[in-house]
């Protein structure tokens, strides 16, 4: 998981490292900054729970039909250099994680990664083009957009 932030440490969104050079996030994360699909994202990426690493970005690509959260809402960030990460756990049942809000209208000064173990919703409760999750532990919040759903295969 990766957290993007401005140099001022203002938090933007969560993303998932797809390959060593590709990050997947939510395209709507660019909107609060007035950014378009071709604009460069902030260069600060948080890798893992504590280490902060600056990473130069080569390109950002939003889905061409992206308009709002109800349209194809994904963004691919291409890193200039490959990212290196240590080994983590090999599998989970189902896990959602992010650095989003923990209180109404407030982002923490030092973001703390949180997680939950959701269940898949039945297909009749969801659009065909979506994967829907449900949890009694809470839910995702502002700032968690673009983060991964990890699952055991």
Tokens of 41: 């994202």
Asked whether residue 140 is assigned to any structural domain, the reply reads: no
Asked whether residue 40 is assigned to any structural domain, the reply reads: yes
Q: How many domains does the structure of the chain reveal? A: 1
What pLDDT does residue 92 have? 43
pTM over 0.75: no
Domain of residue 34, CATH code: 2.40.10.10
> For the segment 14-69, what is each residue's pLDDT rounded down to a tens digit?
777 788 888 888 888 766 545 544 444 555 555 544 445 667 777 778 888 888 76
Cα distances (angstroms) measured from residue 14 to each of 23, 44, 74, 121: 10, 12, 12, 23
Asked whether residue 107 is assigned to any structural domain, the reply reads: no
The region of weakest confidence among 35-39, 100-104, 125-129, 132-136 is: 35-39
Cα distances (angstroms) measured from residue 51 to each of 20, 123, 144: 17, 38, 18
Asked whether residue 100 is assigned to any structural domain, the reply reads: no
Cα separation of 102 and 56, whole Å? 29
Asked whether residue 12 is assigned to any structural domain, the reply reads: yes
Range of the domain at 14: 2-79
């Amino acid at each position: 998981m990766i957290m993007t932030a401005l140099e001022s440490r203002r938090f933007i969104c969560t993303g998932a490292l797809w390959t060593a050079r590709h990050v997947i996030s939510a395209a709507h994360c660019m909107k609060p900054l007035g950014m378009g699909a071709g604009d460069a994202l902030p260069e600060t990426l948080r890798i893992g729970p504590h280490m902060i690493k600056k990473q130069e970005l080569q390109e950002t690509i939003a889905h061409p039909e992206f308009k709002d959260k109800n349209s194809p809402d994904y963004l691919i960030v291409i890193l200039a250099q490959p990212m290196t990460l240590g080994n983590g756990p090999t599998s989970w049942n189902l896990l959602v994680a992010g650095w989003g809000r923990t209180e109404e209208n407030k982002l923490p000064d030092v973001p703390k990664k949180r997680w939950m173990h959701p269940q898949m919703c039945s297909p009749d409760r969801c659009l065909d083009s979506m994967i829907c999750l449900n949890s009694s532990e809470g839910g995702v919040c502002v700032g968690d957009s673009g983060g991964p759903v990890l699952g055991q295969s």
